[in-house]
Structure formats: structure tokens, C-alpha cells
Homo-oligomer: A and B are copies of this chain.
Amino acid sequence: MAEESRRSIGVGLIGFGTIGKGVVKVLAQNAGVIEQRLGFPLRMVAIADLDTETDRGVDLSGIRFDSDAEGLIAAPDVDIVIELVGGYEVAKRFILAAIGAGKPVVTANKALLALHGKEIFAAAENAGVDVAFEAAVGGGIPILRSLREGLSANHIDRVMGILNGTTNYMLTEMEQTEEAFEVVLKRAQELGYAEADPTFDVDGIDAAHKLALLTAMAFGAELTYKEIPTEGIRQLTPIDFELAREFGYRIKLLGIAKCHRDGGEERIEARVHPTMIPLGSMLANVDAAMNAIEVRGDAVGPTLYYGAGAGEMPTASAVVADLIEIARELQRGGAGPVAPLSYLPHHLVPKPSVALDEQSGRFYLRFTVADELGVLAEIAGALGENGVGIESVVQKGSLESETVVPIIVLTHRANEAALRDALAQMDELQQVKAPTLVVRIEEEV
């Protein structure tokens, strides 16, 4: 148990945007309670940002503020460096510089860690300094700590969750208001939930970055981002939400990672896509911009972690929790004993992945077809020929003025490759007027 001492730990922040502002606020407003847990003060001493003009509306007394990030890293009163610059090259340079200076780093940069984590964690290990990144996944939810420490006794076999608040807000809105993707996206942008270029969020890339980190940590697999098949939410329309509910599901953008263990061999399945999950499940009940991650271990069974996945104060909560943990270790004279990716570095090994083609499941298919006799027979035929069984069909009656109608098919359990063959065959049909929407169904949630 910690003994209190007089020393304080100095924190330097690079990147003074929304989250950085939150960190300054949390350190100020909760200084007392933090010291009651930590035993000594944690002080923000320096901030660096290219924009030193904009008034962030937070009290900066006693804090140096300029545009000199290198100077901040080198400053003797900066014990821990927070990287909140975002992006790849510049952020990576600052992180490696801090590690090179023997200073631990806290970052929320999932994109950077998913792509360059291997290099960064190796540098940190060689230098014997901590790199902490709780804020990179699930915002304020302590999901990485839980995976790394709370569930450390388990073989984890599945991690599955709502990893992106922007798209969860949009899906909730589309379902409730029956508005189109573009309308809801515009509102999300006005509310500050979505960025001007929404690609990272709506195409599932942000969720895939986070899933890459979770996959490595859950299964001891070497960090590999590029292998995660990813689909976003652009194709969804109000009718899909309506029918999902009729069938007993809700649609959520999920990151899903499973570890298949056959004898000694482990193979990893990871994917990000809109998913139909049973109405009564915990994940189906997660609305608006909230996140939730389910982790299943062989001893503990299913567990779930829920909270705000983004935003100024929730993300700052995770950043400051990392600061507190690192400060404790600095006080003891070094780095923490827990490996950043849960498995000790030399036990993180490349693990083969299960290709999407090998996977199977049930599917919701929405065909966009000419309102003609015989189309349904063509669809049923093409699916049947490829071994994809039909469980239900819904043909929404067309208005007289419409010549294109949706036909919805729920399949029995089928192989992904077989399904894609069937869809390719159907895309040849002149009655099929647009690419077919595929939403995977996950029953066991």
C-alpha cells in the first residue's frame, strides 16, 4: 500500500483540443480526490499546441502554453507526456521522442496504435517506460484495464461491442425517426457527434482500429489492423430498422472478434459490420452515443462494460486514470508490471485469421428489384443453387407509381462464400436494380 510523500508529478500535454481541455478540467476540479487516492499531487505544467490563440475557456494559471512540443518533451518538470494530437506522423514522432527521453506517454490515438502500435510498444519496452491508452477504446469505459487485469485468469474467446458512438447515435436516430442516413448524418454533424468528413466513423474504420487493439489484447495476437474486414452503415435505410424489429432484432454496428481454438491451433476471426442482434440482449439496449463491449472468458462467462465512448469529459476520465497509474509507478521508480497488450511482448505472436469466406451465419438480405412477376422465383433459385436456405421472405407492397421494390430475405445458416456467389449471380439479373444489402445476424449476444 502506498505511503504518501511530498513529491508531485508534472504532466505535459501536446494537442489542446476538446479532450485536452477535458484533461485540464478534470485535473483541476478533482485535484483533491485524486490526491486522496494517489498520495501526492498530479500537476499540469505545460501545454503545446500550434494554435496558441484560441481561448479554450479553461484556467491556465501556472501552466506554460506555447507551440513548442519538443521543448515540452524535454522540459525537466514534465514527467509524463500526453499525446492528443491525433493523426499518424506527427503524433508518432512526439510519442517516440517522449519515449526516447525516458518519459511515459498517455495517448487516446487508436488509429496510430492500430497501425504503428507494434513499433511504439517495442520502443517503450526497450526504454522501460509505460505507454497507456485506456482512452483509445470505449472512451471513459475502463475496458482495457478490465481485459488486461480484471479478466487476466481467463482464456478470452470473444470480444464484441459497440465501439463507435457516432454511428450508434445515428443508428438510434434512424430507427426512431425513420429518417434517411444523409439526414441523420447532417444532424450528427450539427451536434458535433460527427466530423465534417465522417468517413472514419460511418465506414467502420474507427471501430476497426479499436477492434484491432482489443483483438491483440484478448487473444495475444500480434497487432494487425489491415486484416479486419470492415463495412459501414451508409447502405442502411428506414425499412431495414423496421423489419429488423419485426424479426426480433435491432441493428448495431459491431466490432466482433472471436478466437477459435482447435486442439493447439488458434485462429482469429475479426470483423466490423452492421449486425442484427436480439431485441432483449444487453448490447441491443445500448442507445445514442453510448458504447458497450462484451467480453467472454472461459471462467467468467459473458461480461459487459458500458459507458460514454467519446466526448470531452469521459475521454479525459480515462486519460487521467492512466496518468494516476503511471504516476504511482514513477513514484516507485519505474514502469508498471502489466504488459500494455496484456500478454508479455514475446508472447504476442502472429495468429492466422479465419477468412470471411470461411465464416458462416444467418443473413438479412435486402434486394432492390424491378416490380415484375417472377423476380422472387429468380432470387429463391439463385440462393438455393448456392446452398443458401431461405427462412422468411417479405415483399413490401409497392405503390402504383413505384417500379422498384425491396424484397427482404432472412436466410438459414449459410456460408459467406456461398452467399457471395449467390449475390454475384443475382447482380447479373436485369431485374436487380441496385447492390443487395447484407446484414449479418448474431444470435448469441
Contact = CB atoms under 8 A, between A and B. Distances in A.
Given A33-B155, A145-B149, A321-B150, A128 B282 contact: no
A356 interface: no
Contacts of A280: 285
Interface in A340-354: 340, 342-347
A95 to B, nearest CB: 16
Contacts of A61: none
A141 interface: yes
Given A1-B337, A344-B4, A345-B1, A306 B304 contact: yes
A30 B156 CA distance: 11
Given A336-B1, A344-B4, A153 B321 contact: yes
Main secondary structure of the interface of A (DSSP, over half): mixed
A151 to B, nearest CB: 7
B134 A343 contact: no
A229 B37 CA distance: 28
A37 B302 contact: no
Nearest to A22: B299
A200 interface: no
Given A30-B155, A306-B282, A301 B313 contact: yes
A409 interface: no
A179 interface: no
B308 A305 contact: no
Given A30-B153, A300-B317, A302-B308, 19 more contacts: A1-B128, A4-B346, A26-B153, A30-B155, A134-B150, A140-B297, A142-B149, A142-B303, A146-B146, A149-B325, A152-B320, A154-B317, A282-B282, A297-B317, A298-B313, A300-B313, A301-B314, A303-B308, A304-B306
A1 B142 contact: no
A367 to B, nearest CB: 33
Contacts of A37: 152, 339, 342-344, 347
A332 interface: yes
22 contacts: A1-B125, A1-B338, A1-B345, A2-B339, A26-B154, A30-B298, A30-B299, A37-B342, A37-B347, A38-B344, A141-B150, A141-B303, A142-B151, A145-B149, A146-B150, A282-B306, A298-B313, A300-B317, A302-B307, A302-B308, A331-B337, A332-B337
Given A150-B145, A328-B338, A36 B343 contact: yes
A141 B149 CA distance: 11
A303 B301 contact: no
Interface string A133-151: 0100000111001100111
Interface string A69-104: 000000000000000000000000000000000000
A339 B299 contact: no
A324 interface: yes
A329 B38 CA distance: 17
